[in-house]
Chains A and B, each alone.
Chain A
Amino acid sequence: MATAVEDRAETAPRFAPLLGRFALAGVVAGAASGLWALVVTERAIAPALALEEARGSGHDHGHEELVSRSTQLVGGFLGTVFAAVVFSVVVAAVYAAVRHRLPGRTDAGRAAVLAAIGFGVFALLPAVKMPANPPAVGDPGTVGTRTAIYIAVLGAGVVTALLVSAMVGTLRARGLHPSAVAAAGVLATVALVAATVLLVPDNPDAIGADVPAAVVWDFRLASLGQLAVLWTTLGLTAGYLVDRLARRG
């Protein structure tokens, strides 16, 4: 033990057990954000559904015929868990590939950094470019366009993360002062986010005059909070589990 202190006994875990830890963290993160969905987000969805019902006509989305509201609440929870597990599987592969290049002295620190990037790409950037909308806002006719925009925004976010981290890595290797590297990283991120906002087409849907702004913004905050819970829990839990895995050697 005494001989290992100097290099902090750091070993690289094998991929399969690492994936197991991330998947478990994904289940935990999904359960946490799924609970947020039930307690917070569904409360923000309810007024939008009431509004839809009040309209009477138009797209009813087939809610009543196929699946009851209470079943949709279960689906909202399970869908969130499913998404979190999918994210965790993807993040596990990315984490393993870039672990040795992530800042942070421990796996807990590195996992937190990668989860923060994931939150930026999959939550913050879409929130800036195409904020989430509750039911009653979207036009079913434009969903294909909106899906394409959404995927383009996620792709731009991934490219931004890759470019900025490559740049930061290069500058660090050149021995630039850490504060200068940080400033360059922030500037490059802002520039690329601005380019995404300007170049990717806007959401074609206008919010109906009968939809109060409070209904929309309560929902958007609830949705962003849900994604924050997901990524925070994923990063902290995976970091804790992988840290233990690496220390065990």
Chain B
Amino acid sequence: MTSAQHTRTRTAPAIAVPAWAWALALLALFALYLVAQDDGAVLASAGDLAHEFFHDARHSLGMPCH
């Protein structure tokens, strides 16, 4: 019924996403989690300094804090 040319008209070509792109995205999210989470569960006391340094960003970006 629908011709092939009709379905193709407004479709942009796809981009191949390499596996490392997803790995990088996950790594970036995990790094943000380490910086952003408040209870020190992962970095423990070693992260206290970075944790306090980024404190205001955590609040202002709407992430849970004290």
Residues of A near any B CB (own CB < 8 A):
10-15, 18-19, 37, 41-42, 45, 59, 61-63, 66-67, 71-80, 82-83, 85-86, 89-90, 92-94, 96-97, 99-100, 105, 110, 123, 126-127, 130-135, 138-140, 143-144, 146-147, 149-150, 173, 175, 219, 222-224, 226-227
Contact = CB atoms under 8 A, between A and B. Distances in A.
B28 A89 contact: yes
Interface residues of B, number: 42
Interface of B: 2, 7, 10-18, 21-22, 24-25, 28-29, 31-32, 35-39, 41, 48-49, 52-66
Given A89-B28, A90-B25, A93-B21, A67 B55 contact: yes
B66 A75 contact: no
Given A93-B25, A100-B11, A63 B62 contact: no
A90 B31 CA distance: 12
Contacts, number: 168
Given A15-B21, A93-B25, A144-B41, A59 B56 contact: no
B61 to A, nearest CB: 6
Interface of A is mostly: helix
B10 to A, nearest CB: 7
B57 A80 contact: yes
Contacts of B24: 89, 93
B62 A123 contact: yes
